Amino acid sequence: MNFNEVDVLFAEEEIQEKVAQLGRQITADYKGEDLLVVGILKGAFIFMADLVRKIDIPLELDFMSVSSYGTSTTSSGEVRIMKDLDYSIENKSVLIVEDIVDTGLTLNYICEILKKRDPKSVKICCLLDKPSRRKSPIRPDYVGYSIPDEFVVGYGLDYAGQYRGYPAVCILKPSVYEK
């Protein structure tokens, strides 16, 4: 990690403990159900990989990729599906996994689409939540950390395509994006 560019917000060990906690809770809540864990690419890939290894019940995985219209910093709320799910979600207990919920517009759109496909339930698990930025009524069911409106990278989250592989969640220093 380049500490000239980032400050650690949540260290690797701390995140692992949090993910294990979420996994235990999800394991208890979904016992006996047909659980389908849906990751929203790309940001969710690391969190999801760690989370499913802490969920101790049979589950299936699927992925969706969406892209929002608008600039990189302002989301318009209009979302286009770049990759849809491979499988039917009818009668499945769907758990959407996200790295971060910000305005909530992306998840609002995804939930609307998925609910039309007759799942048994649709819930959301995110590692990070920025409730102060919300523009839609999305409320994640499982939240790792509620955070203030900081520019975060690492553990799947990027800035201009970089930093996703950092093992910690970090705050990007303004000197990097104000260049």
Distance (Å, rounded) from C-alpha 60 to C-alpha 41?
16
Nearer to ligand PRP, 26 or 79 (CB): 79
Determine contact, residues 36/64, Cβ cutoff 8 Å. Answer: no
Minimum gap (Å) between residue 158 Cβ and ligand PRP: 5
Minimum gap (Å) between residue 122 Cβ and ligand PRP: 15
CA-to-CA separations, 178 to 1, 10, 74, 174, in angstroms, rounded = 20, 23, 16, 6
Q: Tell me whether strands 6-10 and 169-172 are parallel, antiparallel or unpaired.
A: antiparallel
Which of 7, 56, 99, 102 is flagged as catalytic? 102
H or E element: which one contains 104?
A: none
- Residues facing 124 on adjacent strands: 96
102 given a catalytic annotation: yes
Nearer to ligand PRP, 43 or 144 (CB): 43
Residues that bind ligand PRP in the complex, under the rule CB under 6 A = 40-43, 68, 75, 98-106, 158
Nearer to ligand PRP, 93 or 103 (CB): 103
Distance (Å, rounded) from C-alpha 32 to C-alpha 12?
31
DSSP 3-state assignment of 17? helix
Minimum gap (Å) between residue 28 Cβ and ligand PRP: 26
Active-site amino acid positions: 102
